Chain A
Amino acid sequence: MSRMMGKIRQRHIGAALAISYLLYSLVFWAYPFLWLLILSFSDWRFFSAPSFSGLSNLQLLLTNTEFWGSMWNVARFLGYYLPITFACSLAFAFGLQHLGRGKAFVALCFLLAHISSGVAYSLVFTKIFSASGPLNGFLFEWFGFKIPWLTSPSLAMLSISLIVTWKFVGYYGLILYSGLVAIPKEVYDAAKLDDTPPLTRLVRITLPMINAQLIMVLVLATVISFSIFTEPYMMTEGGPLDSTNMPLMVMYETAFLRLQPSRAALMSIIIAAASYLVIKLVRRLFERDVALT
């Protein structure tokens, strides 16, 4: 009898805990969400009540070249970031696999980059990449030229993707490494019997076998490209010539500097939707169900 009572009591406690989470989510998740929708279809400037304005925000946004320019910058960022980061993380993963001793030490060094604070490392790289910084000092001494890393419109985005690569290679590399060590050795022994050349082995065996990890890295990299804010905000302020202006920066400026929160709300929705769709597309295109049968 008391056991029965205990069980009922347990259920009450369980339900109470669940309700506490739901109440919290109601205030700090559902309510803001509702505001996001309301704002997107109304005109509001932080004071008084929002007035319904139908699709006029959308109309304004469609012709907002700064916003679409920033979305194009996401594509430019990905154009640099994906090849560089994939090459580096794959190299890191293979290197780690063949490392006899000190795997933990090497991984530690790379992961220290991953936990660096956004503001701090942006400041440090601004100095390292500056005209008189140590990188240009090195280039000038050895090769006799300097590179305008952050001040040239055609190079600034490349520089930012290099910096973000510095931060994420350790993390992505470990993800790929976890895939590499899970490949059964027999697969390679079979390939060896067939005298498969190394490049074919890489493209036909290794890469397909770590498809899940590659997709994971691709998804993480895509998420970052849409949500990047601190680095361009600190290092280039979106310049030169808007070449590193990212969507979240435009959203931030529209809402809090130009005081147009309702337009910024619609931007948030479009950025989130675009990021969701790109990820969906990437998975549809590249995800394979790899199973050894």
Chain B
Amino acid sequence: MINFKKKSPASWVITIIMYVLALTWLYPYVWMVMASLKPTQEIFNTSLFSGTLTLENYEFLFSSAEKLNRPFLRSLFNSFFVTLSVTVSVVITSALIAYAIAKIDFWGREKLKGFLLFQMVLPGMMLTLPMFVLIKQLGLVNSYASMILPAMMSGWGVFMISQAFKGTPDDYIYAARLDRSNIRQIVFKLMIPLNKAIVAIVALFTFTGTWDNFMWPLIVISDVDMMPLSVLLATFNKQFGFYVGPVMAGAVLQALPLVLLFIAFRRYFMQGMSLSLK
């Protein structure tokens, strides 16, 4: 099985099968995009690439859906605002705290590391319900803060980045200190550029995780103007599911940013997936 010559027939067969499978795996995406471009009544009775192609579903989503109390444009903004805030915050706080853990010998450093690992072992879904209690007590239900605050710092992010920072030689830091750099300059001008890959991974995974989050905003947001795309799309489907075309256009809207992000940063994603194996 192992010693195929590069061009043996068997290896050709496997290559072809793998290519066919890879394209089959994309079928749901292709179907989604094609369905979003067809009038609803044609989606189920035309074959994949035939039928009338139109942008009316997208027009419906951005103009008529507003009158149905489903403001998609606004929810797109909400999703971007929340996701970007969380991502920026996680990257900055993780890098600073990771630097302290990796390079500063302060009292209690080992205990903090132990605490981080303990946090990572406990299943996070356990805290969903009591987190809602906290958000309610703070009076933050139906606000951006309810989606941003609980995710502003990430133990996983701190852990990942500190592992990488440990590998950066101390000499660089001594040199920067001789130049009278302060800690902010050391972290943002030296450590992050030197560890670009891992920081990018933490940023990308935080972005996709937050964008895709469904259960948490479903619990804390009931005001349609504050809903992220995932929740608005779900409620739209629940009430107006018979508008299959617009629902598919909404699905494209929800899936597209992650697909583009993934294609643009695929190198980091692949690295991140193999790094997170440890």
Interface residues of A (CB under 8 A from B): 6, 10-15, 17-18, 20-22, 24-25, 27-29, 31-36, 39, 46, 92, 94-96, 98-102, 104-113, 115-121, 123-125, 127-128, 132-134, 137, 166, 169-171, 174-175, 178, 185, 188, 192, 198, 201-202, 213, 216, 223, 226-227, 229-230, 233-234, 248, 251-252, 255-256, 261, 264-265, 268-269, 271-272, 275-276
List, sorted by A's number, 14 A–B pairs whose CB atoms are closer than 8 Å. Answer: A94-B1, A99-B15, A101-B15, A112-B259, A123-B233, A171-B273, A227-B123, A230-B214, A230-B215, A261-B133, A265-B129, A268-B125, A268-B128, A269-B126
User: CB distance B248 to A18 under 8 Å?
Assistant: no
In the complex, the 5 A-B pairs of residues with the closest C-beta atoms, listed nearest first: A14-B104, A14-B106, A32-B130, A109-B22, A35-B130
Interface residues of B (CB under 8 A from A): 1-4, 6-7, 11, 14-15, 17-19, 21-23, 25-26, 28-29, 31-32, 35, 43-45, 48, 93, 96-97, 99-101, 104-109, 112, 115, 119, 122-123, 125-134, 136, 149-150, 152-153, 155, 158, 177, 183, 208, 211-212, 214-215, 218-219, 230-231, 233-234, 237, 244, 247-248, 250-252, 254-255, 258-259, 262-263, 266, 269-270, 273-274, 277
Would A46 and B136 be within 8 Å (CB), given that A11-B107, A99-B18 are in contact?
yes
User: CB distance B234 to A119 under 8 Å?
Assistant: yes
User: CB distance A188 to B2 under 8 Å?
Assistant: yes
User: CB distance B277 to A178 under 8 Å?
Assistant: yes
User: CB distance A128 to B28 under 8 Å?
Assistant: yes
User: CB distance B105 to A271 under 8 Å?
Assistant: no
Minimum Cβ distance to chain B for residue A12 (Å): 8
Would A20 and B127 be within 8 Å (CB), given that A234-B237, A252-B215 are in contact?
no
Residue on A with the closest CB to B150? A28
Minimum Cβ distance to chain B for residue A168 (Å): 12
User: CB distance B126 to A118 under 8 Å?
Assistant: no
User: CB distance A252 to B134 under 8 Å?
Assistant: no
User: CB distance A29 to B233 under 8 Å?
Assistant: no
Would A115 and B48 be within 8 Å (CB), given that A18-B112, A272-B123 are in contact?
no
Would A25 and B119 be within 8 Å (CB), given that A32-B133, A111-B269, A261-B133 are in contact?
yes
What 5 additional pairs, Cβ within 8 angstroms, besides A32-B130, A94-B1, A185-B2? Answer: A18-B106, A28-B134, A33-B130, A117-B255, A119-B214
Q: Give chain B residues whose Cβ lies under 8 Å from the Cβ of A36.
A: 126-127, 129-130
User: CB distance A252 to B219 under 8 Å?
Assistant: yes
Residue on B with the closest CB to A7? B105
User: CB distance B129 to A113 under 8 Å?
Assistant: no
User: CB distance A119 to B219 under 8 Å?
Assistant: no
Q: Give chain A residues whose Cβ lies under 8 Å from the Cβ of B115.
A: 22, 25
Would A264 and B129 be within 8 Å (CB), given that A31-B134, A119-B230 are in contact?
yes
User: CB distance B106 to A11 under 8 Å?
Assistant: yes
Residue on A with the closest CB to B219? A256
Minimum Cβ distance to chain A for residue B214 (Å): 5
Residue on A with the closest CB to B255? A120
User: CB distance B125 to A248 under 8 Å?
Assistant: yes
Complex formed: what's the CA distance from A146 to B233 in Å?
Answer: 29
Complex formed: what's the CA distance from A6 to B153 in Å?
Answer: 28
User: CB distance A20 to B258 under 8 Å?
Assistant: no
Minimum Cβ distance to chain B for residue A137 (Å): 8
Would A21 and B31 be within 8 Å (CB), given that A11-B104, A109-B23, A111-B269 are in contact?
no
User: CB distance B254 to A119 under 8 Å?
Assistant: yes
User: CB distance B262 to A127 under 8 Å?
Assistant: no
For A36, A96, A118, A123, the residue with the greatest tally of chain B CB atoms inside 10 Å of its CB is A123
Minimum Cβ distance to chain B for residue A27 (Å): 8
User: CB distance A100 to B6 under 8 Å?
Assistant: yes
Q: Give chain B residues whose Cβ lies under 8 Å from the Cβ of A118.
A: 212, 214, 230
User: CB distance A13 to B274 under 8 Å?
Assistant: no
User: CB distance A21 to B25 under 8 Å?
Assistant: no
